């Protein structure tokens, strides 16, 4: 930020909003991490913890939205502040969806942990790490107004999509060879799908950061893969 | 570096190299600006940035102040208004002005106030006075409120009504341009909303240039916004761009409330 | 929270100020009462309509009253247009340079010059140099000079209270400076200018010294028939009677003072009325 707001109470309100957003993003990252460990380490306790954490993330979403509305109504912000508030308002929605997807993965992990292990999910943890880093970087890009980092997030989504395609092909092969594996195979495929959607959400957030910083709307410009039902 | 603007079609005012002084103080430091014909152009900026001086140059009201001086050209209809042959009184009939504090003439009735411009300059023909009064008051959205008391003193009206009376008075001389110098700063929010509504209805037929230190007002009423800072034009663009994604850092700091 | 005792001093001060107001008022009242007790019995219609006489009980103030009215009318006719014109020039056109500042300082000083000096000036210029003689003309011109500074100062103040926004409003409608002054500024300032003029004229009514200096007659048994006619005026008649040894003439003087006071109060009442009437619209 080049300069501070002359009204220090306003500056403080925006700082608080930024802190809350970071806190929420941290929680969501933790949930992704937990969901992956629950899956890889076959630890259903961790999975249940992840499911519990979702309530806190939902609470964050409501609180942050509420603060956005309040600042909009009372301060009538302009320019970069207006963009920051509206983007924050949208990004908490995306973050909350990422949290829900982490819950979905945790639920699948509980089911999978109850059965025999399928095979080492070597590409799934890699995908999980990648998505986690994308969510973290998208939030960092917002808070530090760093469009380069945001661009980087958008680029990484291609990797996520490629990984998903590979995992999908692997699982298909596995399931065709042995119908016994279909149920577990579908669970694993779902996990991969959830991760892929998380990547899309991270990409959306990154695009909004670019708009916030440059004031340029890069959404729906040029090519954009539209896997996952995210709007 | 003065802001350069690419030429536009059919400008109302083409301002170039405009410098203005009060005594030895330089308050406008070379303004380059083309104000399009029609619509509302808002001028924002902190106190002392020269925004009021700028619009007072557009109808040569600046030179009324003792010691005030102007340099540079302001072209209106192909004619530099600062040319020695231009009669400022005739210019001001083309370029009307509404002031910060409502200033109806206290010794005149509502009707006389509307006709004041014509009477003062002896261009009134008496025969169509009634028509002119009604038309101007209707345009100023005041007719329904005062039509039964046209012979009462204008100073008996509320502040907002007085300001609309002043707008009617400016409209009665049939100008092309209306300059407004913080027209709502002495009014309450409801009276302000009425004036803003009026500005919306006038933008079709007149070129309106409004100075305001209320950014939200500029955002509400204008099509284009110019940001002045310390006697210089920093940025001039359509209002949506100025208030959502200005291109200059000074503009951004000003509209988000970060002043030094 | 608790009283500190300071307000006791405040109350004492207010009391002192009130006393300072009451003392002159009381003295004025005593003076007026004295005059009324002396003169009331003598104030009859024939007193107003009779010529002066060597016999106190027959003497009247007709020539003095008529002379005063003529004198005041002429004085006003000279002083008011010139004073208001000068005020308009100084306030609206004069600008701010050494010449106007010099004029301003001089006018302020002139307002404080003793009236007898004006009388001597009038004697030299109007009576002798212009050869108007000891006429109404000379008297009126002298009194006009005397009250001119007062009218100018009061009119300038009235013009200065016209908000600048109104002048700008005129210019913005395409009026010239003269049109703005004539149609907006002067109508606005007129009540103030008239009030100032009336108060100045009422001062002239009571002036004695300059008239004596230019040699106005003290015993006149005819009415003035034109501006060049010799004349007398109420204050002079009163002065004349007061200086007589006989007590009957002093009673006449008291009655004359009552007439003079009545005229002065009427003028002041008119000024107050005008101020009240036009105050509301600004």
Give residue-wise pLDDT tens across range B191-237: 999 999 999 999 989 999 999 988 999 999 999 999 999 999 999 99
pLDDT digits (tens, 9 = 90+) for C131-149: 888 888 999 999 999 999 9
Residue in A80, A214, A216 closest to B256 by CB:
A80
Confidence of residue A223 (pLDDT cuts 50, 70, 90): very low
Residue in A2, A83, A216 closest to B253 by CB:
A2
Chain A contact present for B7, CB below 8 A: no
Confidence of residue A97 (pLDDT cuts 50, 70, 90): very high
Q: How many CB atoms lie within 10 A of CB A204?
A: 23
Domain shared by C28 and C158, yes or no: no
Per-residue confidence (pLDDT) for residue A227, from 0 to 100: 35
Q: Closest approach of chain B CAs to the CA of A120, in angstroms?
A: 50
Q: Is residue C100 part of a domain?
A: yes
Per-residue pLDDT for B124 more than 80?
no
Per-residue pLDDT for B1 more than 50?
no
Domain of residue C17: give its range: 6-42
Domain shared by C128 and C256, yes or no: yes
Q: Is residue B2 part of a domain?
A: no
Q: Is residue C206 part of a domain?
A: yes
Q: What ipTM was reported for this prediction?
A: 0.89
Dist. CA C250–CA C257, nearest whole Å:
10
Residue in C172, C183, C187 closest to B92 by CB:
C172
Q: Is residue B5 part of a domain?
A: no
Q: Which residues on C lie below 8 Å from B109 (Cβ)?
A: none
Domain count, chain A: 1
Paired tokens of C162: 């016209």
Domain of residue B98: give its range: 11-255
Chain C contact present for B106, CB below 8 A: yes
pTM of the predicted model, to two decimals?
0.78
As a dihedral over the C-alpha atoms of residue A155, residue A158, residue A159, residue A160, rounded to 10 degrees, the angle is 110
Q: Is residue C221 part of a domain?
A: yes
Q: Is residue A183 part of a domain?
A: yes
Per-residue confidence (pLDDT) for residue A163, from 0 to 100: 93
Q: Is residue B36 part of a domain?
A: yes
A79 and B256 within 8 Å at the Cβ level: the answer is yes
B106 and C180 within 8 Å at the Cβ level: the answer is no
What does DSSP assign to residue B81?
T
Domain shared by C124 and C188, yes or no: yes
Domain shared by C22 and C110, yes or no: no
Confidence of residue C61 (pLDDT cuts 50, 70, 90): confident
Q: Closest approach of chain B CAs to the CA of C191, in angstroms?
A: 11
Domain shared by C113 and C247, yes or no: yes
Q: Closest approach of chain B CAs to the CA of A4, in angstroms?
A: 6
Of the candidates B102, B100, B98, the one whose C-alpha atom is nearest the C-alpha of residue B156 is B102
> Residue A144 maps to which CATH number?
1.20.58.220
Domain shared by C15 and C61, yes or no: no
Per-residue pLDDT for A146 more than 90?
no
Q: Is residue A1 part of a domain?
A: no
Q: Is residue C178 part of a domain?
A: yes
Q: Is residue A230 part of a domain?
A: no
Residue in A4, A5, A215 closest to B245 by CB:
A215
Q: Is residue B242 part of a domain?
A: yes
Q: Is residue B85 part of a domain?
A: yes
Chain A contact present for B244, CB below 8 A: yes
Domain of residue A82: give its range: 8-214
Domain count, chain C: 2
Of the candidates A143, B79, B81, the one whose C-alpha atom is nearest the C-alpha of residue B70 is B81
φ, ψ at B240 (rounded to 5°):
-60, -45
User: What's the mean per-residue pLDDT of chain A?
Assistant: 86
Q: Is residue B3 part of a domain?
A: no
Paired tokens of A136: 């973290």
Domain shared by C155 and C92, yes or no: yes
**Residues 6 or more apart from B180 whose CB is under 8 A from it?**
B97, B98, B199, B208, B209, B210, B211
3-state secondary structure of A191: helix
Q: Is residue C80 part of a domain?
A: yes
Residues 183-242 of B with CB under 8 A from A: 215-216, 219
Arithmetic mean of pLDDT, B134-148: 93
Domain count, chain B: 1
Per-residue confidence (pLDDT) for residue B4, from 0 to 100: 59
B258 and A6 within 8 Å at the Cβ level: the answer is yes
Per-residue pLDDT for C182 more than 80?
yes
Arithmetic mean of pLDDT, B161-172: 95
Domain shared by C112 and C198, yes or no: yes
Q: Is residue C66 part of a domain?
A: yes
Size of interface A-B (CB pairs under 8 A): 45
Q: Is residue A195 part of a domain?
A: yes
Domain shared by C217 and C172, yes or no: yes
B120 and C172 within 8 Å at the Cβ level: the answer is no
pLDDT digits (tens, 9 = 90+) for A3-17: 788 888 899 999 999
- Partner residues linked to C12 by β-bridges: none
Q: Is residue A3 part of a domain?
A: no
A3 and B257 within 8 Å at the Cβ level: the answer is no
Dist. CA C256–CA C252, nearest whole Å:
6
Per-residue confidence (pLDDT) for residue C274, from 0 to 100: 84
Chain C contact present for B59, CB below 8 A: yes
């Amino acid at each position: 930020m080049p300069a501070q707001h002359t009204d220090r109470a306003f500056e403080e309100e925006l700082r608080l909003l930024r802190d809350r957003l970071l806190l929420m993003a941290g929680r969501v990252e933790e949930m992704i991490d937990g969901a992956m460990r629950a899956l890889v380490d076959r630890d259903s306790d961790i999975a249940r913890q992840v499911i519990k954490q979702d309530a806190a993330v939902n609470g964050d979403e409501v609180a942050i939205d509420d603060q956005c509305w309040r600042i909009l109504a009372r301060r009538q912000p302009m320019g970069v502040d207006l963009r920051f508030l509206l983007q924050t308002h949208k990004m908490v929605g995306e973050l909350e969806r990422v949290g829900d997807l982490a819950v979905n993965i945790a639920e699948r992990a509980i089911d999978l942990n109850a059965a025999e292990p399928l095979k080492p999910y070597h590409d799934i943890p890699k995908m999980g790490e990648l998505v986690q880093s994308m969510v973290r970087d998208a939030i960092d890009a917002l808070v530090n107004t760093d469009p380069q980092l945001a661009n980087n997030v958008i680029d990484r989504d291609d990797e996520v999509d490629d990984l998903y395609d590979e995992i999908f092909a692997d699982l298909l092969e596995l399931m065709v060879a042995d119908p016994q594996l279909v149920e577990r195979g579908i669970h694993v495929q779902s996990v991969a799908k959830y991760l892929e959607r998380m990547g899309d959400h991270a990409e959306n957030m990154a695009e909004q950061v670019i708009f916030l910083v440059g004031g340029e709307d890069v959404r729906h410009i040029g090519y954009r893969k539209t896997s996952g039902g995210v709007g | 570096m003065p802001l350069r603007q690419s030429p536009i079609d059919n400008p109302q005012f083409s301002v170039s190299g405009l410098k203005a002084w009060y005594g030895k103080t330089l308050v406008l430091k070379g303004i380059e600006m083309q104000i399009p014909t029609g619509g509302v152009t808002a001028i924002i900026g902190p106190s002392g940035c020269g925004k009021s001086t700028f619009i007072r140059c557009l109808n040569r009201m600046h030179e009324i102040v003792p010691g005030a001086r102007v340099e540079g050209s302001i072209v209106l209809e192909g004619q530099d208004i600062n040319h020695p042959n231009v009669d400022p009184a005739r210019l001001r009939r083309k370029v009307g002005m509404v002031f910060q504090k409502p200033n109806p003439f206290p010794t005149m009735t509502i009707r006389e106030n509307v006709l004041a411009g014509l009477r003062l300059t002896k261009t009134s023909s008496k025969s169509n006075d009634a028509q002119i009064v009604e038309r101007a008051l209707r345009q100023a959205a005041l007719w329904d409120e005062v039509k039964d008391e046209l012979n009462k003193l204008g100073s008996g009206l509320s502040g907002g009504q007085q300001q609309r009376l002043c707008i009617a008075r400016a409209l009665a001389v049939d100008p092309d341009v209306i300059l407004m110098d913080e027209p709502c700063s002495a009014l309450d929010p409801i009276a302000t909303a009425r004036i803003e509504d009026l500005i919306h209805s006038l933008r079709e037929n007149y070129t309106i240039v409004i100075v305001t230190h209320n950014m939200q007002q500029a955002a509400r009423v204008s099509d284009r916004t110019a940001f002045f800072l310390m006697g210089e034009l920093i940025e001039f663009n359509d209002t949506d761009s100025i208030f959502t994604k200005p291109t200059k850092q000074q503009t951004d700091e000003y509209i988000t409330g970060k002043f030094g | 929270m608790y009283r500190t005792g300071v307000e006791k001093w405040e109350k004492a001060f207010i009391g002192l100020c009130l006393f300072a107001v009451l003392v002159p008022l009381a003295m004025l009242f005593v003076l007026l009462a004295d005059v009324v007790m002396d003169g009331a019995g003598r104030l009859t219609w024939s007193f107003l309509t009779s010529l002066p006489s060597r016999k106190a009980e027959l003497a009247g103030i007709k020539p003095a009253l008529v002379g005063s009215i003529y004198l005041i009318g002429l004085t006003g006719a000279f002083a008011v247009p010139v004073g208001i014109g000068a005020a308009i020039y100084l306030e609206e056109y004069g600008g701010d340079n050494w010449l106007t500042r010099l004029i301003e300082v001089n006018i302020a000083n002139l307002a404080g010059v003793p009236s007898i000096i004006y009388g001597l000036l009038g004697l030299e210029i109007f009576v002798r140099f212009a050869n108007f003689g000891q006429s109404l003309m000379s008297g009126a011109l002298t009194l006009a000079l005397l009250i001119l500074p007062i009218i100018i100062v009061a009119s300038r103040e009235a013009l200065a209270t016209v908000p600048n926004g109104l002048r700008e409003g005129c210019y913005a409608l395409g009026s010239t400076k003269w049109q703005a002054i004539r149609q907006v500024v002067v109508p606005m300032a007129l009540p103030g200018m008239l009030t100032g003029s009336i108060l100045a004229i009422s001062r002239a009514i009571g002036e004695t010294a300059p008239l004596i200096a230019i040699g106005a007659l003290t015993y006149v048994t005819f009415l003035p028939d034109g501006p060049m006619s010799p004349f007398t005026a109420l204050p002079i008649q009163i002065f004349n009677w007061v200086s007589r040894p006989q007590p009957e003439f002093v009673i006449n003087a008291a009655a004359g003072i009552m007439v003079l006071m009545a005229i002065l109060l009427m003028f002041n009442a008119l000024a107050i009325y005008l101020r009240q009437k036009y105050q509301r619209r600004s």
